[in-house]
Amino acid sequence: MLNHFKLLVFLILNIFCLIFIFLGCSNSKKIDPEIEKIPLEIKFDRFDLKFASIEKKEFQNFKKKYNYLFPSQFSDSVWLKRKNDTIQIMLQNEVNKIFPTLTNIEKEAENIFKHLVYNFPSIKVPKFLTLINNVDYQNKVIFSDTIVLISLDTFLGSKNTIYNGIPGYIKSDMDKNRFGSILVDKIASSIIKSPSSRFFLDRIIYKGKILLLKDFVIPLSSDEIKIGYSNEQINWAKQNEEYIWKYFIENELLFKTDDDLIDRFITPAPFSKFYLEIDNESPGKIGQWIGWQILRSFRKKNPTLKISEILKLSYEEIFKEANYKP
């Protein structure tokens, strides 16, 4: 009887500990109240659903309304044929299944732009429009100052059978939990100036700036979501950070301008290319990860600087002041 009582007490204490930990974690990951109260609402225009249901007799008016999506060199018959295409219908049905509502990603876009408006007051909030685009995974999100086009058929989930045949490292980005991070990638090009030099160091710091921007505008997202790594890949990067940096230094890569360094260490790929036995264990685009850690080191040493100020700094100044030593 005494043993049962001890067991009961043990279980109760553990439950309370778990509740305490959960509440502590949830309370530590909240949006800044000053940002939360910014009056901003985003609703997506469901062009994909409208296109799927449009009648032939209504098509001319529909095309006029969305003329920027209908190049003039294609006749109406081309678009109507596409509307009734079996692949188009199959993709739309799958989108409807995965996205019965867009409330979650609308809220995600809303929070992103609240953070952007807070940090960059002059930024304008564009219109958002969803479409089906033949699983064009190279253009999952298209961003301009006035409109954002979202191909919902590229966010159906990495394990979706529709994506069979697409390389795994590409499929890992084709999940709705990556939408916000990919949106920020696209927005970043309008905020962060590309490096004027071709130095490898400048290129990885540029990518680091984009990832640091994510620390500010999607602060509740994990590092895995921000960079598009699995938990195992994040752990590998952390455990080998010192050795990666040592490899870059010893091979004098930082101030090289070889374009092949982009493919080896910056462009998304199944793995990074050190030309060593560890290659197959490494995640792709490891140069982006290192650039991110350089920016985080800089920010740690300059905690009062605003993100808008950091992003304007030269790559040389950031590298010098970061004093990055993994």
Q: For residues 88 and 137, state if they share a domain.
A: yes
Which pLDDT does position 4 carry in this prediction?
46
Which pLDDT does position 23 carry in this prediction?
38
Q: For residues 211 and 162, state if they share a domain.
A: no
The HSE-up count of residue 220 (CA atoms within 13 Å, CB side) is 15
Q: Which of 188, 215, 232 is a domain's end point?
A: 188
Specify if 145 maps to a domain: yes
Q: How far from the centroid of its chain's Cα atoms is residue 325's Cα?
A: 27
Q: Which of 133, 163, 188 is a domain's end point?
A: 188
pTM of the model: 0.89
Q: For residues 125 and 223, state if they share a domain.
A: no
Specify if 10 maps to a domain: no
Q: For residues 178 and 291, state if they share a domain.
A: no
Specify if 23 maps to a domain: no
Task: For residue 131, report the phi and psi dihedrals to the nearest 5 degrees.
Answer: -150, 175
Burial class (CB in 10 A: 0-12, 13-18, 19+), 35: middle
Q: For residues 246 and 317, state if they share a domain.
A: yes
Specify if 169 maps to a domain: yes
Which pLDDT does position 30 carry in this prediction?
79
* Amino acid sitting at position 174: M
Which pLDDT does position 24 carry in this prediction?
40
Q: For residues 244 and 184, state if they share a domain.
A: no
Q: For residues 178 and 204, state if they share a domain.
A: no
Domain housing 242: 200-322
Domain tally, the chain? 2
Q: For residues 40 and 184, state if they share a domain.
A: yes
Low-confidence stretches of the chain (pLDDT beneath 50): 1-28
Q: For residues 250 and 297, state if they share a domain.
A: yes
Q: Which of 188, 211, 237 is a domain's end point?
A: 188
Specify if 17 maps to a domain: no
Specify if 230 maps to a domain: yes
Q: For residues 217 and 178, state if they share a domain.
A: no
Which pLDDT does position 161 carry in this prediction?
97
Q: For residues 92 and 144, state if they share a domain.
A: yes
Which pLDDT does position 9 carry in this prediction?
38
